[in-house]
Chains A and B, each alone.
Chain A
């Protein structure tokens, strides 16, 4: 299935792009993070991140659907 991924901050720099559409067989955001870490060498452990699907926070075990927009959220630092 196709998914849209957006990258921010450190992960944007490590991926070298801010968004992409990928074809994947990953079933959950957790699987997807593993797949993309293998591709881009992300240094953050999954335990340090949150994940959003379609612009709302999501569980890592959610079943992704074709067309979902996924954003991995590194530790935040507003203020």
Chain B
């Protein structure tokens, strides 16, 4: 399985071993962490939930797309579900390849596509005591624009768009 979920901390040392290849000259990884703020609110913890049956299929398709598009050796993505505290790792992507350029590109491609396509949701809990489902609640009044906000300080420096 090149995309999977875990209820417990992601073991990056173990995950990295799955990418080893005698023809690989290196590997690139991305870790998404829980940070203490989002859109002006102080975040204290997150809850991740997934429609796992479809999410695993879509995640596998993304990694397969990456392996077709970029000449890399191996790729793997692991996403955590459940309750996460600050600095916990929510997602890990790793790619090994002969040369670094395509490993960076494939890693970026996978995390971007996972954020846009895989049915995973996160609920933020705030210091104020409020909570909210990201992309669902503040946008409820703006149909069709739910995915068009810029999240400038996303760990991956991504734009969540259509």
Contacts and interface: CB of A to CB of B under 8 A. Distances in A.
Is B truly associated with A?
Answer: yes
Contacts of A47: 143-144
A66 interface: no
Contact of B115 (A48, A71, A78): A78
Contacts, number: 94
How big is the B interface, by class?
35 or more
A52 B54 contact: yes
Contacts of A48: 139-140, 143-144, 146
Given A8-B119, A43-B137, 11 more contacts: A6-B51, A9-B133, A48-B144, A56-B57, A57-B54, A71-B119, A77-B120, A77-B134, A78-B79, A78-B91, A78-B114
B71 interface: no
Given A75-B135, A77-B135, A78-B91, A10 B121 contact: yes
Interface residues of A, number: 22
B54 A76 contact: no
B137 A77 contact: no
Contacts of B156: 79
B65 interface: no
Interface in B124-161: 133-137, 139-140, 143-144, 146-147, 154-156, 158, 160
A44 B143 CA distance: 7
B116 interface: yes
